[in-house]
Amino acid sequence: MESINTSLVTQSLNFHGQQLQKLWEAERGEQDLMKHNIKDLNYELYNKRSKHLSFQDRGKRLKLQQFIVKKANVIFSKDATEKCKGSDENVITEDMYAIMPPLETYLNVDKQQRLKYFFENVKIGNLILGTIISKTQSGMMLKVLCTTGIGATVHYVADINVKAFCPVANIIPAVDRKGVSRSYMMNDSVCCEVLEVIPDTDKMVCGMKGSTRDPNGPAHRPPLGLVSADDFPLVYNGRFPEQEYANELRQLQASKWAYSNVADGIDHFKAGRHTEAFQCLNKALNIDPKNVEGLVARGALFANSGNFQKAIEDFETALKLNPNHSNARKYMGETLVALGRSYEEENKLEEAEKLIKAA
């Protein structure tokens, strides 16, 4: 019998619910959990989570659970988990954490506010990357592009006109990646340390000699002086996936909040608490007007309450967003027929015929 961490398996089953247990037993045998002395499962956590799980993501959840079951011997291996516990927690490498892009690339913030925020937060000793925009006998003027450094927060400022002056006394010789010395040229990229911040003029004084570095500390990365595109932070170059920007993230968050209210509304509907159901569904659609499940549920509630016109409006909106939604199509047909019959009773035969044909 392979050695697996039964505590982790139990946590996983409690988190993913009965669906994972069924997949586990189908793949590994109905007695497998018992063989590993895994019993007394408690799905309370899953039941709490299930209210917030969207119907659309069920396929993704199923694939994840299938992966967990197929790779269980590796994922829950005692040897692997013990190695993780015994590893040196002080060693941190880039593959151990997500690289976060600057917030400025996500949010549409007023440039003056960003400028003020930048100068309030930049400190002496911080590293900056910039391009040379002018050269004089006294030094070089740089356009600051971003902050950088090991473990530093990257602030993107290329679009808000931050300037830094590097006095000639603080300039080191320019050496390219091949080790060849040359002169600094216009538009060269350089890395400097901040020596002085002048907030009132939106300028800084910087240098390349490492005067602010702790002698016993690590060397600057990237190195001071002439740099290339490869020395820029990964998060500086290129655009990020559209779904990771503020508007898309906000829509995703709104959608999740809305689904939670839809789930509550459906529970109230099934229990006959129509007033509470309307409150929850209206709240869901205020948060996310394009929530198809909310529109269909509220349409069904309107139809159940005899308000066929309102129900039809919700179903039509839902079908514009998702023309193949089976419940929306079904309820729309039933509601059109019900409204047609009510017109028949009122002797509005022409309107009734149109609705029944539409159904």
For the cut 60, the answer to whether the pLDDT of residue 40 exceeds it is: yes
* Contact (Cβ atoms closer than 8 angstroms) between residue 75 and residue 26: no
Mean pLDDT, rounded, for 275-302 = 92
Please say whether the beta carbons of 231 and 222 come within 8 A.
Answer: yes
This prediction has a pTM of 0.43
Q: Give the pLDDT confidence score for residue 343 in this predicted structure.
A: 60
77 burial level (CB within 10 Å; 0-12, 13-18, 19+) = middle
What domains appear along the chain, each with residue ranges and CATH number?
A: 6-86 (no CATH), 103-230 (2.40.50.140), 248-358 (1.25.40.10)
Q: What pLDDT does residue 357 have?
A: 56
Q: Tens of pLDDT along 93-150?
A: 445 556 666 777 667 788 888 888 889 889 999 999 999 999 999 999 999 998 888 7
Distances (CA, A) of 187 to 73, 227, 336: 55, 11, 68
pLDDT tens track for 149-207: 877 778 888 888 899 999 999 999 998 888 889 999 999 999 999 999 987 777 899 99
Q: Please, which pLDDT band fits residue 55 given cuts at 50, 70 and 90?
A: confident
